[in-house]
């Protein structure tokens, strides 16, 4: 059993990945539109979804989504929903890992075959995703202890840079009253999505109870602010939209004067590698458990354990093959479109999940009163 602090670590993991991956690109694409209004809406909407989800989960102590769904829905409905959510959650890691392969080729090692890099990461992610949930949370804690101070340092270096253009920031603020749109709201709410991992990790929490909502809102606002304004300030209001990976291009323009290496991008790459791998491992672990739950192989029942262990290998092998095949056929434009579609669908899926949990809580309460 683990303590409540690990729930905040799951939130922090997504909040920090939000600074790096495809979310800044989507926010920047809408910089002359309604990005600020969309972010303003995303904060209360994302916070509310997280709060309601956490309150509902407290009614199912020690249970994951498979146990909850199987107890209130017919077998075929619960199986279908679990496989659907499992694949959707796994799909997030598809974008992360293929982006990572592309970034490595562009910024770090263009001479090494990207498929060798991808194969190495698939092996690490696949083997680590088989670990038990408790071990993964302890590993996440260590990764965050290393990554968060470095992220804070790099953010400070960006905003204290003498070449940071506050005029670009002020220019974007003049568009604050433009109308928001669904795509940007969906992208901005991704920062909160770490709480969805609780659909599996709730099994190992001891009396889970969410507190400190104000801190979560504060961190999310700071994270969104950095995601949007750090690239704009360094690359310019117009120039930021020309980059495929604006966060990496921003850091690539920075230097560290008194460190053992001069270019900040190497530090940023290591941080990004740790967070991406950890994020993908957790997504594969959650996706695997949901898919297996769809076939009623959930939990650690001794009678099902040998069958579950064997099925795990097949699910993880399928996950790896899908990513490898996709990496060979899609380009950066398709990847960008996939990320937008994923974020749009994910946002709707989160709302549907909260509605399904409300229904499950009502059914469970009615059954107890009967």
Which of these ranges, 107-111, 134-138, 335-339, has the smallest mean pLDDT?
107-111
d(CA 193, CA 174): 29
Is residue 244's pLDDT more than 90?
no
Chain centroid offset of residue 276 CA:
9
Structure tokens at 108: 């770090």
pLDDT band with cut points at 50, 70 and 90 for residue 369: confident
Instruction: Convert the pLDDT of each residue in 221-238 to its tens digit.
Output: 999 999 989 999 998 888
CB 6 within 8 A of CB 139: no
The residue ranges of every structural domain in the chain are 4-368
Nearest to 58, CA basis, from 4, 137, 134: 4
pLDDT band with cut points at 50, 70 and 90 for residue 300: low
Look over the chain and give the mean of its residue pLDDT values, rounded to a whole number: 87
pLDDT for the residue 287: 93
Dihedral sign of CA atoms 42, 27, 176, 217 in order: positive
Instruction: Convert the pLDDT of each residue in 177-206 to its tens digit.
Output: 999 999 999 999 988 888 899 999 988 887
3 state SS of 205: strand
CATH fold label, 4-368: Amino acid/polyamine transporter I (1.20.1740)
């Amino acid at each position: 059993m683990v303590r409540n602090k690990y729930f905040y670590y799951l939130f922090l993991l997504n909040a920090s990945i939000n600074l790096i991956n495809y979310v800044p690109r989507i926010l920047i694409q809408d910089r002359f539109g309604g990005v600020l209004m969309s972010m303003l809406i995303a904060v209360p909407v994302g916070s509310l979804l997280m709060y309601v989800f956490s309150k509902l989960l407290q009614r199912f102590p020690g249970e994951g989504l498979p146990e909850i769904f199987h107890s209130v829905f017919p077998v075929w409905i619960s199986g279908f929903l679990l496989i659907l959510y499992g694949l959707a959650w796994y799909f997030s890691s598809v974008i992360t890992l293929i982006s990572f392969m592309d970034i490595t080729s562009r910024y770090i090692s263009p001479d090494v075959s990207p498929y060798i890099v991808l194969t190495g990461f698939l092996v690490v992610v696949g083997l680590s995703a088989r670990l038990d949930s408790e071990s993964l949370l302890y590993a996440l804690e260590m990764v965050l202890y290393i990554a968060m101070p470095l992220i804070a340092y790099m953010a400070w270096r960006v905003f204290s840079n003498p070449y940071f253009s506050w005029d670009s920031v002020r220019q974007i603020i003049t568009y604050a009253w433009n109308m928001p749109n669904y795509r940007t709201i969906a992208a901005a709410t991704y920062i909160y999505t770490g709480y969805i991992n609780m659909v599996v990790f709730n099994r190992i929490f001891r009396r889970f109870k969410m507190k400190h909502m104000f801190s979560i809102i504060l961190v999310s606002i700071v994270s969104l602010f950095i995601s949007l304004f750090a690239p704009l300030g360094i690359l310019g209001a117009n120039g930021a939209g020309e980059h495929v990976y604006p966060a990496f291009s921003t850091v690539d323009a920075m230097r560290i004067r008194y460190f053992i290496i001069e270019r900040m991008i190497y530090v940023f790459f290591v941080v990004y590698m740790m967070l991406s791998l950890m994020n993908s491992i957790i997504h594969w672990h959650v996706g695997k458990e949901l898919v297996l739950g769809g076939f009623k192989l959930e939990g650690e029942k001794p009678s099902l354990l040998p069958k579950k262990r064997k099925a795990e290998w097949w699910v993880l092998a399928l996950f790896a093959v899908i990513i490898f095949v996709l990496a060979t056929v899609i380009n950066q434009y398709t990847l960008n479109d996939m990320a937008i579609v994923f974020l749009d669908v994910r946002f709707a899926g989160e709302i549907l999940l909260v509605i399904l949990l409300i229904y499950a809580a009502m059914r469970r309460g009615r059954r107890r009163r009967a």
